A and B are shown apart, each in its own frame.
Chain A
């Protein structure tokens, strides 16, 4: 079946640093999504990408839909303690059969 890979699996950064993470797939998707999950809570949608090559920002977060439609990237600028959590990418075609990556666990050191 379809699988997504996320890298890195986990990262420890200093407060104020920028963060980059990516998500790759063996299959093409026409929509990419990035979610953040805090411990014990449901994922929260951060950014949705609908077009290959698209670059979308949400505050300090910027995500890009790769031109091959098989990858996506998420950047967080000037990290703060509340950025701690697990970041999941997800791919879907026409809103069906959502596939989630295993997540990138982010820790921010003060």
Chain B
């Protein structure tokens, strides 16, 4: 158990809909990272937050957004969903802004029908 929690574990929705994925980092970790993993693909870095502020942005679509709240939990919002958005979405946390040892949550499997 990495100490990172993600909810929900599974999510099934329809095209055009909007969903919110939630992540709680390890106790004391200030950085949260979001990744997308499509079937049999590697991990695509989406976005990083550090102590509530956006720190780095990767290949995140404009239809996607994220935020980190004062209690350090983070949410990833996916809107106008398309079939191709079906994937595993992972959250990871690390100790500080420069911390490179990330600890991953169990992921949320999103299926868009």
Contacts and interface: CB of A to CB of B under 8 A. Distances in A.
Q: Give the interface residue-count category, chain B.
A: 20 to 34
B42 A97 contact: no
Q: Give the interface residue-count category, chain A.
A: 20 to 34
Interface stretch (B14-22, B70-78, B79-87, B93-101): B93-101
B102 interface: yes
The B interface, classified by DSSP as helix, strand, loop or mixed, is loop
Interface in A32-85: 33, 35, 40-45, 48
A58 B94 CA distance: 20
B25 interface: no
Given A100-B42, A100-B43, A103-B42, A43 B48 contact: no
A33 B100 contact: yes
B41 A98 contact: no
Contact of A102 (B42, B90, B100): B42
Contacts of A41: 106-107
Contacts of B43: 43, 88, 90, 100
Contacts of A97: 45, 56, 58
